[in-house]
């Protein structure tokens, strides 16, 4: 059986409001030492809300790190000890002004495991009911209703470029064939 890598040293470099950064030194099974920069991030959720007319409610919002706007599924970080289900309902209410009476977990995925600890829980939300909450201070969101049959085209032609949105939409699309 292959030996597991062993952590030799862990150094905290930065503690922020959204991310922390640490540098790990690891002894690999081949005997070499390797250094890994690790961004620590809370778990998160992403939700594909679909209305009674089979429109996906996406959000268009400014993303400062890329210097532009993206078309995305509603998403956000868990506020511990908040459960993923509760976080999904809160994010729906904050970002699109609806809650879901039929919230279905689709699974989950690591957003970028080469350097980040963020795990994202994916959901499908149906049977939407009005239930607006105040948006976060750093969000300026425009809701866009998109027919579900247009989603593959929007992904293919680069209108949707956000990986968590693409992954969750693809997880959802097979349910509508």
User: In whole angstroms, what is the distance from residue 71 CA to residue 81 CA?
Assistant: 29
Domain count, the chain: 2
- Residues that are catalytic: 137
The dihedral sign for the CA sequence 48, 49, 52, 57: negative
| Chain segment 74-124, per-residue pLDDT in tens | 999 999 899 999 999 999 999 999 999 999 999 999 999 999 999 999 999
Q: Quick check: 139 pLDDT over 70? A: no
Q: Are residues 16 and 70 located together in one domain of the fold? A: no
Q: Are residues 35 and 48 located together in one domain of the fold? A: no
Any bridge partners for residue 99, and if so which?
Answer: 129
Identify whether the C-beta of residue 50 lies closer than 8 Å to the C-beta of residue 73. no
Is residue 1 in some structural domain? no
Is residue 157 in some structural domain? yes
Q: Are residues 67 and 34 located together in one domain of the fold? A: no
Q: CA angle, corner 62, sides to 94 and 70, nearest 5?
A: 95
Q: Quick check: 1 pLDDT over 60? A: no
pTM score of the predicted model: 0.92
Domain that holds residue 172: 44-176
Q: Are residues 32 and 73 located together in one domain of the fold? A: no
Identify whether the C-beta of residue 124 lies closer than 8 Å to the C-beta of residue 104. yes
Q: Are residues 71 and 29 located together in one domain of the fold? A: no
Task: Give which of 126, 82, 123, 135 is closest to 100, Cα–Cα.
Answer: 126
Identify whether the C-beta of residue 89 lies closer than 8 Å to the C-beta of residue 97. no
């Amino acid at each position: 059986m292959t030996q597991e890598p062993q952590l030799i040293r862990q150094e905290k470099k930065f503690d922020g409001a959204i991310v922390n950064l640490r540098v790990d030194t690891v002894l690999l099974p081949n005997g070499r030492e390797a250094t890994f920069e690790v961004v620590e991030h809370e778990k998160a959720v992403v939700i594909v809300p679909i209305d009674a007319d089979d429109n996906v409610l996406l959000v268009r919002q400014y993303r400062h790190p890329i210097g532009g706007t993206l078309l995305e599924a509603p998403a956000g970080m868990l506020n511990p000890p908040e459960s993923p289900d509760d976080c999904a309902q809160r994010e729906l209410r904050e970002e699109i002004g609806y809650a879901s009476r039929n919230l279905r977990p689709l699974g989950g995925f690591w957003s970028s495991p080469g350097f980040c600890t963020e795990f994202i829980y994916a959901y499908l939300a149906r049977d939407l009911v009005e239930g607006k909450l105040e948006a976060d201070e750093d969000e300026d969101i425009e809701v866009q209703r998109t027919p579900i049959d247009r989603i593959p085209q929007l992904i293919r032609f680069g209108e949707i470029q956000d990986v968590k949105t693409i992954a969750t939409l693809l997880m959802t699309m097979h349910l509508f064939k």
